[in-house]
Amino acid sequence: MREHTRVVHIGDRVIGGGNPILIQSMTNTKTQDVAATVAQIKELQLAGCELIRLAVPDMDAAKAFSEIKKQVEIPMIADIHFDYRLAIAAMEHGADKIRINPGNIGSKERILAVVKEAKDRNIPIRVGVNSGSLEKNLVEKYHGVTAEGLVESALQKVALIEDMGYDNLVISIKSSDVMMCYKAHQLIANQTDHPLHVGITEAGTIISGNIKSAIGLGLILNDGIGDTIRVSLTGAPVEEIKSAKLILKTLGLRRGGVTLVSCPTCGRTRIDLIGLANKVETLLTKYDDLDLKVAVMGCVVNGPGEAKEADFGVAGGVGQGLIFSHGEILKRLPEDQLLSGLEEELVRYKEEHTEK
């Protein structure tokens, strides 16, 4: 990580300065629907979300922050476009951070009003720039949308706010073009010490979005760049959290938690391996406070042996299967009891682990 980045406080969380990379997502409820929004935030927090962004399209949404904040435990970020009054209202009603693109807020006077409110409350501003909204003069200067143009646009907006006497900032430069996004982060990391929020915007559906995000975020994070991340998927927000956690764990940037390994299907498979693996993956979200490796194998012949390193595992057979640990068979069960049998072992382990 870029340990020389500035430290920024977002509610009770801290980013930058070598602190752990935090996972962010965004609600897709109507923010003014307090009950639905709170329910989704709690679901996301349970899955591992550490910062949550909420759309603020109107004044009712901005005012809803007051009630939502009373019921949730993670910092809330107000996502603002166009209307500077919404940014001010969101901060007045409890937003821990705001996300703006100064380019679509309007006049300098309006931007200054937002900056003044943030400064008075010491609320960080995320300056966001997307490739889809790059200014015409920069598109012309660089003969198209380029990494260089994205960086120049972001730094211009940062300089504008700094000239107004405020530097409690986070920068975000996003593109749906993975390699352009990677290059832009390489460039900007050498030109600023502000923390960076990293993501591949409009990445796509669960499959394509995960592939693009894994490659893009993998490249960026592996270079030590990034302080918060979001995996942007066209799907349920909780899927973004699962993917973000796995990306960080795969890169060695986050330790602990349950790691799932599963074998591909083959001609020896005699159970619904795909269905079982998906059910196990969902089950494991309840035990992510444990540092374990769990395997789902399609064959009772080779499964336990091939997954000896797994703390616990399931191996399928013909209408039945095995629960094993480090290659040793613990029990044989009918296929429809394998999931519950695995959970019994996880519960037992957790109880013993907690006692220690």
pLDDT tens sequence across 291-309: 888 999 887 666 666 678 8
Half-sphere exposure of 88 (CA within 13 A, CB side): 13
Tens of pLDDT along 84-131?
Answer: 999 999 999 999 999 998 888 888 999 999 999 999 999 999 998 888
The separation between the first and the last C-alpha atoms of the chain, rounded to the nearest angstrom, is: 33
Give the model's confidence band at 355: pLDDT under 50 very low, under 70 low, under 90 confident, else very high.
low
Q: Domain 259-355: which CATH class?
A: alpha beta
Second CATH level (architecture) for the domain 8-250: Alpha-Beta Barrel (3.20)
Give me 224's structure tokens: 């030590």
**Angle 168-106-203 (CA atoms, 0-180°, nearest 5)?**
70
Q: DSSP character for 205?
A: B
Specify the pLDDT at position 306. 67
SS3 for 304? helix
Buried b (16+ CB within 10 A) or exposed e, 160-196: bbeebebebbbbbbbbbbbebbbbbbebbbeebebbb
pLDDT at 2: 58
Instruction: Give residue 29's pLDDT.
Output: 95
Query: What's the angle, vertex CA 195, arms to CA 57 and CA 238, rounded to 5?
Result: 50
Domain locations in the chain as residue ranges: 8-250, 259-355
Report yes or no: 323 and 338 within 8 Å, Cβ to Cβ.
Answer: yes
Q: Which residues pair with 23 in a beta bridge?
A: 229
Quote the mean pLDDT of the chain.
90
pLDDT (tens digit per residue) in 176-197: 899 999 999 999 999 999 999 9
Rounded Cα gap, residues 211 and 278, in angstroms: 18
233 class by beta-carbon count within 10 Å (0-12 exposed, 13-18 middle, 19+ buried):
buried
Q: Provide CB contacts within 8 A for 179, sequence distance 6+.
A: none
User: Contact, 61 vs 34, CB < 8 A?
Assistant: no
- Among 228, 98, 237, 64, residue whose Cα is nearest residue 169: 98
